[in-house]
């Protein structure tokens, strides 16, 4: 059987008891290592799980899934995913390939950023579509996220923004020359995300959000040192030092925000006076 095992958000202890039992008995254990990362090294996981782990990068998962599925109709194979197994569409594709080969599949779910972001004090049923923000380059500035945020904002819903990570990526030059040389890992920060969002608003000028729009920056959600910072998009452009190391994510507040959400997030606001003033302006009396 192929097992898709969710590892949770932070470290080696976030795996469920059921997931750990699967990992310990599987013939092979893979760790998907490009849609997200845990906050601990591979060696820590191997020590805790008591098993060697095969790192599955993007190339293996998307282009060489036959190796992952090899003999999975005869033995148990564990494919471990940070967060929940279906947090990325790639894993749905892996399941479909397994079905075509007649391989049984079982999923062991776990916490993901989609549920963990509730620790920011926002009510999960007030969230709309989740969007992703990628690193801009001089020649590539995709802005489809803006349309999704607009749809959410039009009906008053919050937007969770997932930030880009670059793990085992090649430069265009090395890719063109066929050289297997990889760039150092990069992880987008809340400040970079907020800045890019404001750049696109300046281009689109549809008033979907602006420098004074309220948002919450999150870092290492689910970890022992998780951190939240609330403020305007302009303020969040300057909060990377407060948030600290990766992984970061961000929430843009919608107009359905509840007073309980206001009070909860106020405790980690950059400026409580500004927070109260803008909340009253956008969401009504306190």
9 is in an annotated binding site: yes
DSSP 58-107: HHHHHH-HHHHHTTTTTS-EEEEESB-TTSSHHHHHHHHHHHHTT--EEE
Q: Which residues of 73-90 are buried (b: 16+ CB within 10 A; e: fewer)?
A: eeebbbbbbbbbbbbbeb
Is 200 labeled as ligand-binding?
no
The set of long-range contacts for 66-69, using a CB threshold of 8 Å and a minimum separation of 24, is 68/2, 68/30, 68/94, 69/2, 69/94, 69/97, 69/98, 69/101, 69/103
84 among annotated binding-site residues:
yes
Q: Is 113 one of the annotated binding-site residues?
A: yes
Ligand-binding site membership of 143 (annotated): no
Query: Is 87 known as a binding-site position?
Result: yes
What Å distances lie between residue 17 and 3, 20, 24, 189, CA to CA?
A: 14, 5, 11, 32
Q: How distant, in Å, are the alpha carbons of 188, 232, 274 from that of 225? A: 18, 23, 26
Q: What is the rounded distance in angstroms from the CA atom of residue 23 to the CA atom of residue 68?
A: 15
122 is in an annotated binding site: no
Binding site per annotation, positions: 9, 84, 87, 112-113, 163, 221, 248
Binding site per annotation, positions for S-adenosyl-L-methionine: 9, 84, 87, 112-113, 163, 221, 248
């Amino acid at each position: 059987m192929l097992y898709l095992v969710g590892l949770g958000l932070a470290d080696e202890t976030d795996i469920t008891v059921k997931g750990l039992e699967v990992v310990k008995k599987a013939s092979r254990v893979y760790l998907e290592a490009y849609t997200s990362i845990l906050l601990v090294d591979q060696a820590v996981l191997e020590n805790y799980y008591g098993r060697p782990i095969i790192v599955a990068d993007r190339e293996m998962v998307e282009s060489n899934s036959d190796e992952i599925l090899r003999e999975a109709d005869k033995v148990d194979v564990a494919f471990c995913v940070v967060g929940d197994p279906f947090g990325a569409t790639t894993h749905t594709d892996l399941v479909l390939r397994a079905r075509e080969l007649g391989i049984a599949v079982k999923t062991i779910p776990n916490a993901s950023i989609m549920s963990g972001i509730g620790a920011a004090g926002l009510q999960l049923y007030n969230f709309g579509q989740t969007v992703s923000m990628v690193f801009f380059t001089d020649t590539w500035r995709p802005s489809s996220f803006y349309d999704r945020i607009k749809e959410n904002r039009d009906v008053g819903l919050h937007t969770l923004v997932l930030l880009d990570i670059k793990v085992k990526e090649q430069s265009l030059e090395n890719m063109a020359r066929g050289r297997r040389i990889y760039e150092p890992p990069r992880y987008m920060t809340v400040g970079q995300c907020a800045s890019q969002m404001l750049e696109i608003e300046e281009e689109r000028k549809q008033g979907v959000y602006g420098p004074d729009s309220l948002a919450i920056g999150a870092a290492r959600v689910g970890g022992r040192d998780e951190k939240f910072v609330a403020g305007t998009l302009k303020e969040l452009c300057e909060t990377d030092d407060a948030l600290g190391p990766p992984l970061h994510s961000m929430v843009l507040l919608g107009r359905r925000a509840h007073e309980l959400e206001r009070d909860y997030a106020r405790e980690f606001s950059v400026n409580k006076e500004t927070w109260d003033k803008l909340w009253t302006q956008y969401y009504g009396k306190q």
